[in-house]
Amino acid sequence: METIDKIKEQIAENPVLLYMKGSPKLPSCGFSAQTVQALMNCGEQFAYVDILQNPDIRSELPKFADWPTFPQLWVKGELIGGCDIILEMFQQGELQPLLKEAAVKSED
């Protein structure tokens, strides 16, 4: 499977997907750690892909997404953004309803 096809499939199959360095339990960078913390505080489940274990995704995703850095949060097939955007949305109370809505839709 082509890397871009794999990325599209992952995004389609997971209503909330975080491309990050490391895992939620063991983030490998501060930005990923902060993003995971914000997501966990929202209380909704999310999937993740460790880009350090997937160098093909690490190199192709920035071109596909037109977003150069990691982590990247995707909700319902749409790129939300990276660490700064996620933290800002969390602090302003915008992230929680977005994740809750995505979680509810995935149960339908």
Q: Report in angstroms the alpha-carbon separations of 42 from 37, 67, 69.
A: 9, 24, 23
> How is the chain split among helix, strand and coil, in percent rounded to 5?
55, 20, 30
63 labeled binding residue: no
46 labeled binding residue: no
How do 47-50 and 16-20 pair as beta strands?
Answer: parallel
42 labeled binding residue: no
29 labeled binding residue: yes
Q: Report in angstroms the alpha-carbon separations of 47 from 12, 70, 92.
A: 12, 15, 23
Annotated binding site: 21, 29, 58, 70, 83-84
- Annotated binding-site residues for glutathione read 21, 58, 70, 83-84
- Binding-site positions for [2Fe-2S] cluster: 29
